[in-house]
Structures are given as C-alpha cells and as structure tokens.
Amino acid sequence: MRREIFAADHDAFRDQFRRFVTAEIEPHIAEWNAAGITPRSIWKRMGEEGYLGCNMPEQWGGAGADFLFDAIIMEELAYARAHCVQASLNTDICMPYLETYGTDAQKARFLAPAIAGDILLAIAMTEPSTGSDLANVQTKAVRDGDEYVVNGAKTFISNGQNADLIIVVAKTDPTARHAGMSLVLVEGDRPGFERGRNLDKIGLKGQDTSELFFNDCRVPASNRLGDEGQGFKMLMEKLQQERLCICVGSMASIRRSLDDTLAYVKQRKAFGQPIGQFQNTQFKLAELETHYEVGQAFTDKLLTAHVRGDDIVTEVSMGKYWTTDLQKRVASECLQLHGGYGFMEEYPISADYCDSAVQTIYAGTNEIMKVIIAKRLGLDG
C-alpha cells in the first residue's frame, strides 16, 4: 500500500536509493557484521551519491530537501537489515547540532565534509555510571585560557571507532546540573583522546560501539557548540528528531520481519500442510499485521508533524516506546513461527530478534519515555 505522506519525487528517490543499497551495501552486510565495523569507503560513496545530509542546507553541500528523504534512507537501510550503516546517527542525529548551533566556521570545517562523507560524526552522552540521567554526567570541560581541558569517560558510543568528530556532552560548571552542561567538539586525533574497546554486543553487530576516554584532552574554546551552559537545552531540542528516527527504523524492521515470516509460513509444512494454514499462525500474523498498520499510521502522522515543524515531544515519546516495544514483540513472535530454524543464525529472523533488544534502551529508555508523557499530562505533582 502506497503511503500518502510521500510524493512522486520521494518515490523516485526511494527507487534510486534502493538500487544503491542492493548493489553496494547488501552484498557486504554479513562481512561487515562479522568484522564488527563498517568500512569508511561506504560512507564516502554515500556522500558522493548525495545520500548524506539530504535535509541539510545547500550552502554546506546538502540537498535542502525535507526530512522525508532522510526517512526514506532510514527505512530502506532498516528493511535491508543494513544496521551496520549508521546513517541516521551521522546525518539525522549529529549533523543537526552542527547545522543549528554551529558557527559558519564550524560548519565549513565539520558539517560540509560530513555531508560529503569525508568525516564521520558521533555524539558522546552516556557514561559508565550515567545513562538516562544526563544532568549527572561526570565528564568535565574546564576552561583554561583559550582552551577547554576535557577529562572523563564515555561508553556505548555508536560510531565510536570510526568517528572523526565527537560531540561531547560535558560539564563546564561541575557545581550545576542542567545549567552546567555544554557541548564540545573533539576531533578524533586530539592528544589526550583515546578510543577504548569496540564493544561486543548481542545485536547490531556491524555497528562499531565504543568506550571513549579523555585525559587532559585540550580543545580550542572555538570548538564549543553554542553558548556555555546551554548543552542540556540543545540536547532536549534535538531529541525529538532522534526518537522519531528510532520510530522510523523500528517500523521498517517490523515490516521486514513480517514479510519474511509470511513467506516462510506459506512454504514450511508440518502435519502435511503449510503452517500458514493453521489457525494459530493465521491469528498471530493477523494480529501483528494489524499492530504494524496502526504503528505505521502513527509514525507517518509524526513524520508529517515533524516536517511541518510542530512540537511533538509527547507524541514522539509515545511513538518511540510503542514502536520499539512492538518491534521486540514482532521479532519474538516471528521467531517462534519459524520454530527451531528461527534459532539458527542462518535465518535472518534470529538477527531481528537480537537487533530489536536495544531499541527500547537507547535514545532514552522506554521507561523514561513514559516519565516524559506523564509529566506532559500534568501527573508529576
């Protein structure tokens, strides 16, 4: 069924990008997953083809297109199970910080090369002892003349091994909570910056996810994004889009799990007939398909509102927790319908099951999403 939020130019772009994924990404996914990291060359190719920064201004090399073009890229990569290519992180989560809060000098130095695929971006929020409680970060950026001296540790940082530029959430005023946070840009070759392990995960195998360490790492004061003490405010402003990205990817992954499972139950036989002819199978898939349609309709509503510029923090929080919970349920139910084969790694549904686990955790746990919703309903006392 064609989705009404997309126009003819979106459909043409989807066909074009799908051909790119088929030719240049899908043949390598297994190899990149086994390596635990995606090569830099694919990022350069995506930059050359104009697939990074579609939503960014033409002045810096972007296409100046609406966010739906970026959503198409997210959907096609998720449907192909190309989670190893963290395009939404680089393009739709990190780039907006540079585009919105960066100076022209910072944009020329970092944003334009990122759109071209010459540098990769990461954002470092989570710490070994700090997850959802961002105001409690312990990493410090202390002003020393025309420089900041950064000290601290981060963990679970996506793109951590590959990134050339990291947006670091740090305390410039350690005595304050929210008001003491700032965003500091740290280049990957700065003395005092060290990459730790490429962490071994149960899912999303091709995504490099790392520990990062800052030991008296000096960066010029001109590397601060926006005003000092405004870091928390900037994070809150951009988390709407980050969480919407999760919704978009989750729904595309759900669609792939369902498509593969529908094909499987039509050809797999038990007791002399395809298992798709058993009432239990029919009821399970009828239910999951219905939930998919509801989730996709809500996600499309969120996309339309976001493109329009609406404040949809409450609705995106609803979407993030609901679609990711659904993704985990669909992956589990579809694995069950595959029987013993679903437990074998040669069947992609097993990867869907493992990959879905983190969706309810990152970009704010689903418990935090419910806290946000409750507060916006006036239930926080």
pLDDT score at 381: 63
| Whether residues 30 and 111 fall in one domain | yes
- Compute the distance between CA of residue 256 and CA of residue 194 in angstroms, rounded to an integer: 38
User: Per the domain annotation, does 353 fall within a domain?
Assistant: yes
> Which residue stretches of the chain have pLDDT < 70?
1, 131, 381
| Whether residues 289 and 200 fall in one domain | no
User: Per the domain annotation, does 190 fall within a domain?
Assistant: yes
Give the range of the structural domain holding residue 73, as residue numbers without chain letter: 8-119
Report the domain count for the chain.
Answer: 3
Point out the residues that are catalytic.
Answer: 242
Please say which residue of 194, 228, 262 terminates a domain. 228
| Tokens describing residue 32 | 């990149």
Residue 191 CB neighbours (<10 A): 9
pLDDT score at 18: 98
pLDDT score at 134: 79
User: Per the domain annotation, does 1 fall within a domain?
Assistant: no
Residues 6+ away with beta carbon under 8 Å from 29: 80, 81, 82, 84, 206
Please say which residue of 71, 97, 119 terminates a domain. 119
> Which CATH number characterizes residue 202's domain?
2.40.110.10
pLDDT score at 362: 92
User: Per the domain annotation, does 150 fall within a domain?
Assistant: yes
SS3 content of the chain, % helix, strand, coil (to 5): 55, 15, 30
pLDDT score at 1: 60
User: Per the domain annotation, does 2 fall within a domain?
Assistant: no
User: Per the domain annotation, does 381 fall within a domain?
Assistant: no
**Alpha-helical segments (H) within 102-230:** 104-106, 112-116
Please say which residue of 119, 154, 185 terminates a domain. 119
- Compute the distance between CA of residue 334 and CA of residue 338 in angstroms, rounded to an integer: 6
